Amino acid sequence: ADDIILTLKKTRRPDDWVFKVFKFNMSYLLFVSPLIVLVFCSYRTYSISEHPLLLIISFDGFRYNYFDRNLTPELLNLRVNGTYSKYMTSVFPTKTFPNHFSIATGMYVDVHGVLDNKVFDSSLNRYLTYSYELFHYNKDIVPIWTLNEKKGDGRHTGCMMWPGSNYEYQGTTIKHFQIYNESIEWKERVDRIISWFLDSEEPINLGMMYFEQPDLIMHTFGPDSPQLNQQLARINLIVEYLIDRIKNSELLGKLNVIMLSDHGGQAVPYTHVIDLNYYLDNSTYSMYGVSPNLQIYPNPGKYDEVLNSLRKGAEKSGHFFVFTRDEIHEQWHYKDSGRCPPIFIVADVSYVFNDLLVNIGKYKKKSPHIKDFSNSSFGTHGYDPLLENMRAFFMAFGPLIKQNHTVAPFVNIDLYPLFAELLDLELPLTKPNGSFIFVEDILNIKISESYTDTGPTIYIIAGVIIGALCLIVVISIILHLKRIESLKQRKSSLSSYGTCLK
């Protein structure tokens, strides 16, 4: 008995046991907690939006069959590994501003009011070029960048030079935007929009990016020129760079990408210029817009004279068409706009009007090696969207897009409901003219039913793990305290037993 008591006396005090237990568990917790915190915080370090991610890229004037030239292998590879359509139909007129705004709003031009790159608005009595007024004919429509931004809950949009995106719509301006600036290098544009997706405070979940080529060079040298082919090769390089940036960032496997164009391009011989001065007195009317279609506003009291002269000129020329407002084709979705002119003229395919004479002079100066332009051509667009050379292209790839898949051709206004579905957004009260029916086969999943917000899930899991560790420490301390109490009782009992033996 004395030996047992002596052994107990050599045992540490109960407080030392508590300290030992506490020290062990706290050391364990201090070792594990940084790992948990690292996992917990790493999600925010990447600074990626918790919402579905979409990047839309437009290459102005990239005709659907430019792929046949085998100058864009990177795009062809992406097309095969994603979803694409043989071509995409533009809206009339096949111009840059009207089509980019139709893509962004899902509306035909008679609804959104951007009838051309330059439009006369009789209600304002102003000739509108790129301006707030040009894009705000109908204040009820909501561009996709605004729809996304207004949804809130951490959703933000960034637009790199997309026409019309720098303006406020329904009281909302997007988080990031860059107005058109040709001098900004292409790689810098890509770097900037990628940085918006990875913004440390308010990352975007929708990005829209515009490139002015190959359209810009097509106007000067034509769609079949070596100069245009050089731009196609340049486009292939920037797409390679974009893909590398995506692969080397946290966007890999999360970002859905759509690449498209607004219209195609048509070669126009220098001899195919229609001079309206041959057919009517230019002091009797005002002319607005850009070939191959023009808005004609007769001077007061000159309507019949101007209309009759134009009709006779069209008959004599055989290469342009004259429409009164009521006569404009229904399928163009043009005449119901309040900005529609009283007389509208459209040149035949591969013809333009004399409004381009100034531009043509500039084109010629850029080709000093050509001495005789009678066998040369430049390029333009704006003709009927059903014409083959006006066709645009479409392709998409990403985690929500079907792979190795093709869809039937569709009109670009159908993209708006596709964008909304990809972004998990409800359509606005003013519904788009486009329909999701024609593009739903692009998706490999229904976003609204299957998309789960991984951000909060990570927080919950990390919180549960940390909470569990704390609970383990508390339980361990309680168990050891109970053990110490038991040892106290044993010691007391043995002491009493030893006293009795004496």
Rounded CA gap, 363 and 266, in Å? 15
Q: What is the pLDDT of residue 22?
A: 44
Domain closes at, from 352, 376, 400? 376
State which residues form the domain around 278.
273-376
Per the domain annotation, does 141 fall within a domain?
A: yes
Say whether both 192 and 286 belong to one domain.
no
**For residues 223 and 266, is the Cβ–Cβ distance under 8 A?**
yes
Domain match, 279 and 233 both? no
- Domain boundary among the residues 316, 342, 376 is at 376
> How many other CB atoms are there within 10 angstroms of residue 110's CB atom?
22
Phi, psi of 423 (to 5 degrees): -90, 0
Return the half-sphere exposure (C-beta side, CA atoms, 13 A cut-off) of residue 346.
21
The pLDDT value given to residue 42: 43
* pTM as predicted: 0.83
Number of domains in the chain: 2
Residues 439 and 388 in one domain: yes
Domain with residue 165: its CATH number is 3.40.720.10
Calpha distance 295→473 (Å, rounded): 80
Q: How many CA atoms within 13 Å lie on the side-chain side of 190? A: 15
95 and 196 in a common domain: yes
Cα Rg of the chain, angstroms? 34
Flag whether 86 is in a domain: yes
Longest Cα separation, the chain: 140
State whether 146 and 167 are in the same domain: yes
> Strand, coil or helix: what is 37?
helix
Strands 83-88 and 405-407, by their bridges, are parallel
Beta strands 377-380 and 320-324 are unpaired
| Cα 345 to Cα 341: distance, rounded to the nearest angstrom | 10
Verify that 205 and 290 share a domain, yes or no.
Answer: no
383 within 8 A of 99, measured Cβ to Cβ:
no
Integer Cα distance of 419 and 422 in angstroms: 5
- Does residue 365 belong to any structural domain of this protein? yes
Q: Is residue 104 part of a domain?
A: yes
**Does any domain span residue 23?**
no
* Secondary structure in 3-state letters for 175-225: CEEECCCCCCCHHHHHHHHHHHHCCCCCCCCEEEEEECCCHHHHHHHCCCC
Of 323, 342, 376, the residue that ends a domain is: 376
Q: For residue 338, how many other CB atoms are within 10 A of its CB?
A: 11
Structural domain contains residue 501: no
Do 278 and 199 reside in the same domain of the chain? Answer: no
pLDDT at position 469: 63
What sign has the CA pseudo-torsion 165, 441, 109, 212?
positive
CB-CB neighbours of 43 under 10 Å: 17
| Catalytic site includes residue 96 | yes
Q: How many angstroms separate the CA atoms of 465 and 33, rounded?
A: 9
Same domain, 142 and 252: yes
307 and 371 co-located in one domain: yes
- pLDDT at res. 371: 80
DSSP 26: H
Residue 31 inside a domain? The answer is: no
Inside any domain, residue 404: yes
Asked if residue 426 and residue 323 are part of one domain, the reply reads no
Regarding whether 417 and 347 lie in a shared domain, the answer is no
Residues 161 and 186: their CA atoms lie apart, in Å, by 12
259 shares its domain with 317? no
Among residues 114, 75, 113, 112, which one has the least CA distance to residue 96? 114
Q: What is the pLDDT along the chain (502 residues), one digit of tens a residue?
A: 455 444 444 444 545 544 454 454 545 544 545 444 444 444 444 579 999 999 999 999 999 999 999 999 999 999 989 999 999 999 999 999 999 999 999 999 999 999 999 999 999 999 999 999 999 999 999 999 999 999 999 999 999 999 999 999 999 999 899 999 999 999 999 999 999 999 999 999 999 999 999 999 999 999 999 999 999 999 999 999 999 999 999 999 999 999 999 999 999 999 999 999 999 999 999 999 999 999 999 999 999 999 999 999 999 999 999 999 999 999 999 999 999 999 999 999 999 999 999 999 999 999 888 888 888 999 999 999 999 999 999 999 999 999 999 999 999 999 999 999 999 999 999 999 999 999 999 999 765 554 444 444 444 454 556 566 657 656 666 665 666 666 556 555 545 544 444 4
Q: Are 351 and 320 in contact (CB under 8 A)?
A: yes
For residue 418, give the nearest of 381, 447, 450 by alpha carbon: 447
Residues 204, 324: Cα–Cα separation, whole Å: 46
What is d(CA 437, CA 413) in angstroms, rounded to the nearest whole number? 12
Q: What is the CATH number of the domain that holds 323?
A: 3.30.1360.180
Of 96, 105, 146, 220, catalytic: 96
